[in-house]
Homo-oligomer: A and B are copies of this chain.
Amino acid sequence: MRPSGRDVSELRPVSIETGVTKHAEGSCLIRMGDTHVLCTATLEERVPPFLKNSGLGWVTAEYGMLPRATTTRMRREAAQGKQGGRTVEIQRLIGRALRAGVDRVALGERQITIDCDVIQADGGTRCASITGGWVALRLAVNKLMKTGEVISDPLVDPVAAVSCGIYAGQPVLDLDYPEDSEAGVDGNFVMTGSGKLIEVQMSAEGSTYTRAQMNALLDLAEKGVAELVAAQKAAVGA
């Protein structure tokens, strides 16, 4: 029995509210149960130095947590003078995941930065950031296409992510914090709307797992991502 009473293959309630900040080129507030992440897309007509004059675009991401997004207050990273290892690891994952779904030639030589800021955390913030981040990205690209700055759609297939893990011996979909802190094995699965894999990260903490268990989690992830992609499409009106 899951602490939330959910079925093993049941996502938390998902809501994606778009247009939540007036300044960003794209934005949404994604809620996966009690995990709430504000995602904004910033469009800039410049690229990092290594892409100058390449004709290729760039998508990158930054991640943060408000100090009291968690049960006990965490120290503010800006006040500590550096981003923690976990933050760095997560924002590199978000950037890599979103880039995998972008045709960078079609985007052209410009950069889109996705900021994912966790307002409230209850497990699965990196997956929610990817799913919500893609919505912000989609909205920013829509603007570029509306103005004709971009002709061919660089986002051919949505990108979404979900976590799965083995909780109380049972493979379950979309871990919340009480499950996540108990699970000996958990994974984050980034996939496309058409069911292709982009990134799999599956770790055991003080434990191991079998290929059969891995496959069971992949099956759950496929189901979850399909539902998340439907929510993304509804949110962006596609």
Give residues in A with beta carbon < 8 Å to B.
21-24, 27, 34, 38, 40, 42, 44, 62, 64, 66-71, 73, 76-83, 85-89, 91-92, 96, 99-100, 102, 104, 113, 115, 117, 119-120, 187, 192, 196-211, 214, 218
In the bound complex, how far is the Cα of B209 from the Cα of A85, in angstroms?
A: 28
Asked if residues B208 and A100 are in contact (CB atoms below 8 Å), the reply is yes
Asked if residues B198 and A204 are in contact (CB atoms below 8 Å), the reply is yes
In the bound complex, how far is the Cα of B202 from the Cα of A77, in angstroms?
A: 29
Asked if residues A21 and B79 are in contact (CB atoms below 8 Å), the reply is no
Asked if residues B78 and A82 are in contact (CB atoms below 8 Å), the reply is yes
Asked if residues B100 and A204 are in contact (CB atoms below 8 Å), the reply is yes
Asked if residues B83 and A78 are in contact (CB atoms below 8 Å), the reply is yes
In the bound complex, how far is the Cα of B112 from the Cα of A73, in angstroms?
A: 11
Chain B neighbourhood of A62, CB < 8 A: 67, 76, 79
With contact pairs A199-B203, A204-B198 given, residues A81 and B79 touching in the complex (Cβ less than 8 Å): no
Asked if residues B206 and A99 are in contact (CB atoms below 8 Å), the reply is yes
Partner of A209, one of B92, B113, B196: B196
With contact pairs A67-B115, A77-B78 given, residues A196 and B218 touching in the complex (Cβ less than 8 Å): no
Chain B neighbourhood of A199, CB < 8 A: 201-204
Residue of B nearest to A200 (CB): B202
Asked if residues A40 and B66 are in contact (CB atoms below 8 Å), the reply is yes
